[in-house]
Amino acid sequence: MRCGTIALIGRPNAGKSTLLNRIVGQKLAIVSDKPQTTRTRIIGVKQYPDAQAVFVDTPGIHKPTHRLNVRMVDTALEAMRGVDVVVLVVDASVRPGPGDSYMLDLVGKTGVPTLLALSKVDLVAKPRLLPLLERYQMAHAFADFVPVSAADGTNVEALEQAIIARLPEGEPMFPPDYLTSQTERFQVAELVREQVLRLTHDELPFSTTVVVDAFEEGEPGEITRLYCTIWVERESQKPIVVGKGGAMVKAIGTAARVELERELDRRIHLDLHVKVKADWRDNERLLDEIATQNREN
């Protein structure tokens, strides 16, 4: 029996969260086309006939501009310590830049087997992949290279087998039915934020967050009532999220409720409000409040 932890690391929007969801077969991490969607580490456990793999999805590593971003990058760097395998996820459809060189420097210091997952290969012509693979082969002694597409599943199973082969022998850390450490409150906040990301534009995705004010779970078969607040940083942003006559916040709520009912497998009443929390991304107290709430059931 093999058992170990695997850190999925990479630059923002590299496809780490989509890959985690594909591997575990369930939506644990929200996804969007906006960078910096993942703000904290997300654990997903997958059981195999001969192994248990504990995957850790991390925020994209980038140059931080706010205290929130500093925490995100610290979370990603911390996740690399003490794991058994590191998977560097690289977006094959994007031209390499200085950020990729920094990632290579980081993985060179881990001292554990590191695999390269070239992601989004469904968007790239095959002749373009070989030079990219050669570039990374010359830059670091990767334990293995696997071109993957989490969108359509290309080579994901091959990546999983390459990971399992490098896990240490050991007994499972979690029960067979264990999937994630994330609470339902965290899942609710993230699924609502996913719709904010999808439906708003410009600077709003980066300056908004969602907090769960109340989680009222009824008896089996009854409606679960959720009361959430979308925070924005400036008064000028609030009308954009609310929309004309409340149209935008209503659209966010409708789309989020559909996702929540599917993921939580119950009927949901979702009540959304929008509030201004000036400069919340640089407020340590508010960031602690959000982090504490995410850990509570």
Mean pLDDT of 134-143: 91
Contacts of 89 (CB under 8 A, 6+ apart): 8, 9, 10, 14, 15, 16, 19, 117, 119
CATH architecture of 2-164: 3-Layer(aba) Sandwich (3.40)
The structural domains of the chain, with segments of one domain joined by +, span 2-164, 184-295
Distance between CA 101 and CA 115 in Å, rounded? Answer: 16
Q: For position 25, what pLDDT does the model report?
A: 94
How confident is the prediction for the chain on average, in pLDDT?
92
Strands 209-216, 144-147: pairing is unpaired
Q: For position 294, what pLDDT does the model report?
A: 65
Distance between CA 282 and CA 213 in Å, rounded? Answer: 21
Mean pLDDT of 265-272: 95
Stated as kind and residue range, the H or E segment containing 199 is: helix 184-199
Mean pLDDT of 242-256: 96
Give the tens place of pLDDT for each residue, 194-225. 999 999 876 677 889 999 999 998 788 889 99
Fold exhibited by the domain 184-295? GMP Synthetase; Chain A, domain 3 (3.30.300)
Mean pLDDT of 239-261: 96
Query: 274: which 2 tokens?
Result: 């929008």
Contacts of 265 (CB under 8 A, 6+ apart): none
pLDDT tier at 10, thresholds 50, 70, 90? very high
pLDDT surpassing 70 at residue 295: no
pTM beyond 0.85:
yes
pLDDT tier at 292, thresholds 50, 70, 90? confident
Mean pLDDT of 108-112: 89
Mean pLDDT of 28-37: 88
